[in-house]
Amino acid sequence: MDGFRYFEGVATLAMDENACVGCGMCAAVCPHAVMALQNGKARIADKDECMECGACAGNCPTGAVSVTPGVGCAAYIIQTWIRGKNIPLDAKCC
């Protein structure tokens, strides 16, 4: 999926730098290199690359990073392609 970007400015990815302990798990598990470590803290390097898979939040030991599957969710987009019609935005796809 190199070069594939999602809708701009819709990803729900957020992080609390104060809660980050710099373990690097979010950066290690992110499939799109959205998260990066800088000066011992994680930062969001490219929010619009986020596919809202939830891997970073699921592996963060302190809850410093959060994300909610939504319109930027890759699975949602793929399902709409396959079904050829819109599915509800609140459909659980990830």
Binding site for ligand SF4 (CB under 6 A): 13, 15, 20-26, 29-32, 34-35, 42, 50-56, 59-62, 64-65, 67
For 46, which DSSP code? Answer: -
- Tell me the two tokens of residue 2: 């190199």
Q: In one letter, which amino acid is 35?
A: M
The distance of closest approach from Cβ of residue 7 to ligand SF4 in the complex, given in angstroms and rounded to an integer, is 13
Nearer to ligand SF4, 31 or 89 (CB): 31
The distance of closest approach from Cβ of residue 93 to ligand SF4 in the complex, given in angstroms and rounded to an integer, is 13
- Tell me the two tokens of residue 56: 């970073």
The distance of closest approach from Cβ of residue 85 to ligand SF4 in the complex, given in angstroms and rounded to an integer, is 26
Q: In this structure, are residues 48 and 11 in contact, taking their beta carbons and an 8 Å threshold? A: yes
Nearer to ligand SF4, 58 or 89 (CB): 58
Q: In this structure, are residues 72 and 52 in contact, taking their beta carbons and an 8 Å threshold? A: yes
Nearer to ligand SF4, 56 or 93 (CB): 56
